[in-house]
Structure 1
């Protein structure tokens, strides 16, 4: 079976650590070294490589012009300096893509600064959501979703996952759940290991995964 694409938007100063758990585990082979059900496909505004916040050079697999919700299981957007109010137009095309995905019923996951971009696009006005703080997302021009803000690490509402930048593990868990990547006992053990540091969860995870 050909793995289904999970698309990851990439742009200069992307906060690579916010999606590290996501990409590693979506692309990870199982304990029998078989490919998983999904593969991460990177999407850029152009074909030019970008430089992440961590200094990694990443070349897009495809461009936004080639991106279609019909050929995707999810669109994931990480934070970056280019989502900020002074650069509000830099990632507009990625926010537009998120709108197309949500309109098509395909999930979108946004963390940290990406939530600011979605707020500026009006995508948080009628959905429950979170961000780095209520004050942070209020910086978005034309944001009208304050009544729907929730002070939680991750919030899921009608196909949209939003997360604070300090919760990459919880963000990953919500993405795994939305993709039905793991059975519930595996997902629980995974989160206990990476989210709480419980050493006993390592053995539970190994056993559950088998």
Structure 2
């Protein structure tokens, strides 16, 4: 089955650990994962990984994508450099294409007004409140939250973040999704057999 690719935003200071489960298992499920940078020049993650983007943000169109993933980064809180990614998230959501944001990217979406009317989560309520956004009443104290086409999570929940992405894209469902989460979040060895039966070639 032909699928549109998933797009992973990459920028200087991106948090390496937040999207690894998501992108690895999407790739195993047959999705092509393409990286999108501010330009095509290499960026460097918090962990020192050098990434050369597959395309520049200006080349990205919602109709060509299955999902936009926005990882956290120091830059979300120290400058306006990543605001264009939040504006792109708005274009995706307006087009009915899912967006998944974790950690500092949730603050970027808050500043863009995208969390004012959607249930969401983040690192903590006061973190988003500091953006001056109007969505405090929609904040949910949960590991990850999906509201329609928007997925949000805090920095300590990369596994729950991945779970919500898999659910939204239909990669795993039901007991298989539950088993994946129990294995990688809870280290429940009993879940391995369920997941292996469902994903073995």
TM class, shorter-length:
over 0.9
Q: Where does the alignment leave 5 or more consecutive residues of structure 2 unmatched?
A: none
Please give the alpha-carbon distance, in whole angstroms, between the structure 1 residues aligned to 2:120 and 2:11. 23
Secondary structure class of the residue paired with 1:38: coil
> What's the Cα RMSD here?
1.2
Query: Secondary structure of the equivalent of 2:32?
Result: strand
Between the aligned partners of 2:169 and 2:16, the Cα distance in structure 1 is: 21
Equivalenced residue count is 200
Match of 2:118 among 127, 131, 134: 127
Among residues 145, 151, 154, which one is paired with 1:161 in the alignment?
151
TM-score, scaled to structure 2: 0.96
The normalised TM-score by structure 1 is 0.92
Instruction: Find the residue that maps to 1:161 and give its secondary structure.
Output: strand
Q: Is 1:202 matched with 2:192?
A: yes
Question: Once the 2 structures are TM-superposed, how far is the Cα of residue 167 of structure 1 from its aligned partner?
Answer: 0.6
Describe the superposition over 1:68-116 as per-residue Cα deviations: whole angstroms up to 9, x where unpaired: 11010110000000000x31x1101100000000000101000000000
Task: Choose which of 67, 71, 90 in structure 2 pairs with 1:78.
Answer: 71
Q: Which moved more, 1:129-138 or 1:182-191?
A: 182-191
Q: How many angstroms apart in 2 are the aligned matches of 1:157 and 1:199?
A: 31
SS state at 1:193 partner:
helix
1:8-64 Cα distance to aligned partner (Å, 9 max, x none): 110001001000101111112xxxxxxx43111100110111001111001100111
CA contact (8 A) 1:83 1:91 kept: yes
Q: Which residue of the partner structure matches residue 177 of structure 2?
A: 187
